[in-house]
Chains A and B, each alone.
Chain A
Amino acid sequence: QVQLQESGPGLVEPSQTLSLTCTVSGGSISSGSYYWSWLRQPAGKGLEWIGRIDTSGSTNYNPSLKSRVSILVDTSKNQFSLKLGSVTAADTAVYYCARLTVLKGFDYWGQGTLVTVSS
């Protein structure tokens, strides 16, 4: 059973960079044709896809965030990571990592981690 777990600071100051890591367990991040993704959800609002990466390092990002986002993968640690620069209060949200399959969409999710942007 694949499991994903987000980790990283819960508080980030405005204008700084938000950094999160997702650790995948229960299987190799390199096995199968999957895309490893980040999503977020502000309190009381809907879901927003941030971007995805495959294990070759190929990425796709949400156009609305593309200028500030970077997603990397570390296959040796079975992890992938998110960096979101120049954050503002509008970036305060629960951030999820998830596995995206071509056939099914997002089939495995982390439990989510709340990141608050505040000084």
Chain B
Amino acid sequence: DIQMTQSPSTLSASVGDRVTITCRASQSISSWLAWYQQKPGKAPKLLIYKASSLESGVPSRFSGSGSGTEFTLTISSLQPDDFASYYCQQYKRYSATFGQGTKVEIK
């Protein structure tokens, strides 16, 4: 199984801050990585796919980078609507594994 390790688990930040979340895979997944945003009581929402491609309708302040085993999600200027939990997910081959999540809180 491919394990995904996400850090940090919690992040306190202010509106306007640049925020970076890291995700590490236990083996190479090429660029088969997606990032999701989840708000309380709601289903996850796809933000980034193929490591760095922005899903349609997602604000450009969100960006993704990386390949192989190391990946990052960056929010260039945190907005009030961005306080939520974020998950990375690998979809290589015939399985899917999520990171444990990062909760972005108001500082």
Contact = CB atoms under 8 A, between A and B. Distances in A.
Interface of A: 37, 46-49, 52, 60, 62-63, 96, 98, 100, 102-107, 109-112
A49 B49 contact: no
B46 A105 contact: yes
Interface of B: 1, 34, 36, 42-46, 49-50, 53, 55, 87, 89, 91, 94-101
Given A49-B95, A96-B43, A100-B91, A106 B34 contact: yes
B101 to A, nearest CB: 5
A104 B44 contact: no
Contacts of B87: 46-47
B50 A103 contact: yes
Nearest to B91: A105
B95 A60 contact: yes
Contacts of A98: 43
B36 A49 contact: no
A109 B36 CA distance: 11
A49 B87 CA distance: 13
Nearest to B53: A104
A47 B42 CA distance: 12
Given A104-B49, A109-B43, A46 B100 contact: yes
A46 B50 CA distance: 21
Contact of B46 (A46, A47, A104, A111): A104
A78 B106 CA distance: 42
B33 to A, nearest CB: 8
Given A105-B89, A109-B45, A111-B42, 8 more contacts: A48-B98, A49-B95, A100-B96, A104-B55, A106-B89, A106-B96, A107-B46, A112-B43
B96 A49 contact: yes
B24 to A, nearest CB: 15
